[in-house]
């Protein structure tokens, strides 16, 4: 018991050292453990269960929007990866190479997939012949490897879990529609289920995906004001499909090339949840993806009827919620600290006095607000509290973002803001790569995106002062 309390107390304060606070939470909430493979983590049951909930919800959304799941090999022959020039240039420095099978040297190296555009294209070339075969709307849940220099659990890893959608369409319009549709699916998922306010828009040329014509992203602002790119969707036009010769016979009987998209979202989202909602007592989980939504703590559980009442409560809730009774012999204080660390949204306490009053006590993880609820009203009350809990997580995150969002007309203003704080700065940009690079070198900030909803902050580029009519949101990022 003493150990456990010490464990909770020993979490680094979030405002003192955000990075250390983060890794403390990852370890102490038992989300992940380090592994003997450089840059790779063990996704522990509690962390993996969050991912399973994310998968379940998103997979249903993908299927509702007409997508089918498939599974491709985890290896890519070197010659295949090299087919599209920009793509190989982007990924070559970070792929892991397989050179031997048992004792035999392979005649051609394979890389472990960093992403699977090339494999999907090769498959599409086999199965698409006519406009009647289009569109193909495929998705794959898998892990990928990218040999990142610096890694952090969930945020950046040599291996991570994700989904990658790959679709091909008869026309460019359809492909662009799909690219934006999936950006919207991602945005709605993050806002409605994870309570993460999302900034979305187009990436600049410098920040786009290797081989894409256009990349769109959803960005979340973390508690410390840094941005986390939480998902991207890409429009390829017919760049890859020409290279891979995925020709099809069109409605007019001529040979045409389909237009392609891809989109991905990964276990980074778990990092986003931690860094947006968590506090000095641990995780705070959005109910829709919490492995345990309600923990029931029997108070004075040795007294007659208490455990029975706790299990009866569980049974009345388990059809609608992921609910757990903790009847271990740890003290109540120990249990409270443990489930706060694990971010369980609601704690329900029930003891002899509650039973006598036909009530229980509900405590919210986010605000620690207490509710005394009559048992006959329990289901309705819990639904209402969770609804409010979700709104309140979202609102708190949105307030943080609003307080950290600024505008800058020129370099002086921009420098002034980043000298004092971290956040988003809306400023105009001329479109020149060099201006982006200059801001990165001098301030460590990058273009997060070109929001669809544009504002006119000034007439000139924040960096070079030349005429500019594009508003970019700038920030530091994970």
Contacts to its own copies by CB under 8 A? 33, 35-37, 40-45, 48-49, 51-52, 68-77, 80, 92-103, 110, 112, 119, 122-123, 126-127, 138, 142-143, 145, 147, 159, 161
* Least distance CB 477 / its own copies (angstroms): 22
| Spatial contact of 131 and 249, defined as CB atoms under 8 Å apart | yes
Please provide the size of the chain in residues: 478
Contacts of 95 (CB under 8 A, 6+ apart): 81, 111, 112, 114, 145, 146, 147
Residue 71 or 372: the one with the smaller Cβ distance to its own copies is 71
| Spatial contact of 148 and 158, defined as CB atoms under 8 Å apart | yes
Residue 80 or 460: the one with the smaller Cβ distance to its own copies is 80
Residue 44 or 426: the one with the smaller Cβ distance to its own copies is 44
At residue 263, φ and ψ (nearest 5 deg) are -160, 140
* Least distance CB 352 / its own copies (angstroms): 28
Residue 59 or 413: the one with the smaller Cβ distance to its own copies is 59
Residue 204 or 261: the one with the smaller Cβ distance to its own copies is 261
* Least distance CB 180 / its own copies (angstroms): 24
Contacts of 272 (CB under 8 A, 6+ apart): 190, 194, 196, 220, 222, 228, 230
* Least distance CB 126 / its own copies (angstroms): 6
* Least distance CB 108 / its own copies (angstroms): 9
DSSP SS3 for 61: helix
Residue 78 or 192: the one with the smaller Cβ distance to its own copies is 78
Residue in 19, 20, 6, 16 with CA at minimum distance from that of residue 341: 6
At residue 303, φ and ψ (nearest 5 deg) are -75, 150
| Spatial contact of 78 and 106, defined as CB atoms under 8 Å apart | no
Residue 138 or 478: the one with the smaller Cβ distance to its own copies is 138
Q: Please name every residue paired with 405 in a beta bridge, in sequence order, or none if there are none.
A: 424
Q: How far is it, in rounded angstroms, from Cα 14 to Cα 27? A: 15
| Three-class HEC string of 272-299 | HHHHHHCECCECCCCHHHCCCCEEEEEC
Residue 49 or 438: the one with the smaller Cβ distance to its own copies is 49
DSSP run (H or E) holding 229: strand 227-237
The residue to which tokens 């006519």 are assigned? 130
Residue 122 or 192: the one with the smaller Cβ distance to its own copies is 122
| Spatial contact of 363 and 349, defined as CB atoms under 8 Å apart | yes
* Least distance CB 47 / its own copies (angstroms): 8
Q: How far is it, in rounded angstroms, from Cα 390 to Cα 230? A: 19
* Least distance CB 248 / its own copies (angstroms): 16
Residue 66 or 380: the one with the smaller Cβ distance to its own copies is 66
* Least distance CB 162 / its own copies (angstroms): 12
* Least distance CB 247 / its own copies (angstroms): 18
Angle (deg, nearest 10), helices 268-277 and 18-28: 110
* Least distance CB 99 / its own copies (angstroms): 5
Residue 128 or 473: the one with the smaller Cβ distance to its own copies is 128
* Least distance CB 465 / its own copies (angstroms): 39
DSSP SS3 for 211: coil
- Write out the two tokens for 427: 């400023």
* Least distance CB 161 / its own copies (angstroms): 6
At residue 415, φ and ψ (nearest 5 deg) are -60, -40
Other CB atoms within 10 A of residue 336 CB: 19
CA distances from 153 to 16, 156, 207 (A): 20, 7, 23
Query: Residues of 140-160 as b/e, b for ≥16 C-beta within 10 angstroms?
Result: bbebbbbbbeebbbbbbbbbb
Residue 197 or 271: the one with the smaller Cβ distance to its own copies is 271
């Amino acid at each position: 018991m003493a150990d456990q309390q010490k464990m909770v107390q020993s979490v680094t304060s979030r405002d003192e050292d955000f990075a250390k606070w983060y890794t403390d939470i990852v370890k102490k909430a038992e989300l992940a453990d380090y592994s003997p493979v450089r840059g790779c983590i063990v996704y522990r049951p509690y962390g993996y269960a969050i991912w399973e909930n994310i998968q379940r919800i998103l997979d249903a959304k993908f299927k509702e929007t007409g997508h089918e799941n498939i599974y491709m090999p985890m290896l890519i022959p070197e010659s295949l990866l090299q087919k599209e020039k920009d793509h190989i240039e982007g990924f070559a420095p970070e792929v892991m190479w397989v050179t031997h099978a048992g004792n035999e040297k392979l005649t051609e190296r394979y890389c472990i997939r960093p992403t699977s555009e090339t494999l999907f294209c090769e498959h599409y070339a086999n199965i698409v012949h006519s406009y009647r075969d289009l569109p193909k709307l495929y998705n794959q849940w898998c892990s990928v490897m990218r040999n990142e220099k610096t890694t952090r659990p969930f945020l950046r890893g040599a291996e991570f879990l994700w989904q990658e959608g790959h679709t091909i369409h008869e026309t460019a319009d359809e492909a662009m529609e799909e690219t934006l549709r999936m950006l919207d699916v991602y945005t709605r998922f993050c806002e409605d289920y994870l309570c993460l306010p999302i900034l979305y828009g187009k990436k600049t040329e410098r920040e786009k995906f290797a081989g894409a014509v256009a990349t769109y992203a959803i960005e979340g602002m973390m508690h410390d004001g840094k941005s986390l790119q939480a998902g991207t969707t890409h429009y390829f036009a017919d760049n890859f499909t020409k290279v891979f010769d995925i020709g099809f016979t069109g409605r007019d009987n001529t040979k045409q090339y389909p237009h392609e998209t891809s989109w991905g979202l990964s276990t980074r989202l778990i990092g986003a949840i931690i860094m947006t909602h968590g506090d000095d007592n641990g995780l705070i989980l959005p109910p829709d993806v919490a492995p345990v939504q309600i923990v029931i703590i029997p108070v004075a559980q040795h007294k007659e009827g208490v455990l029975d009442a706790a299990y009866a409560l569980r049974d009345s809730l388990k059809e609608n919620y992921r609910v757990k009774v903790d009847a271990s012999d740890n003290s109540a204080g120990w249990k409270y600290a443990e489930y706060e660390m694990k971010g369980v949204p609601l704690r329900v306490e029930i003891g002899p006095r509650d039973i006598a009053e036909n009530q229980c006590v509900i405590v919210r993880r986010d605000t620690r607000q207490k509710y005394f609820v009559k048992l006959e009203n329990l289901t309705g009350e819990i639904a209402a509290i969770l609804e409010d809990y979700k709104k309140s997580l979202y609102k708190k995150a949105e307030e943080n973002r609003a307080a950290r969002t600024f505008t800058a007309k020129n370099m002086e203003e921009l420098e002034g803001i980043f000298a004092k704080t971290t956040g988003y700065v809306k400023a105009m940009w001329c479109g020149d790569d060099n201006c982006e690079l200059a801001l990165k070198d001098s301030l460590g900030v990058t273009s997060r995106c070109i929001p669809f909803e544009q504002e006119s902050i000034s007439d000139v580029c924040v960096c070079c002062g030349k005429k500019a009519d594009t508003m970019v949101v700038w920030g530091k990022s994970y």
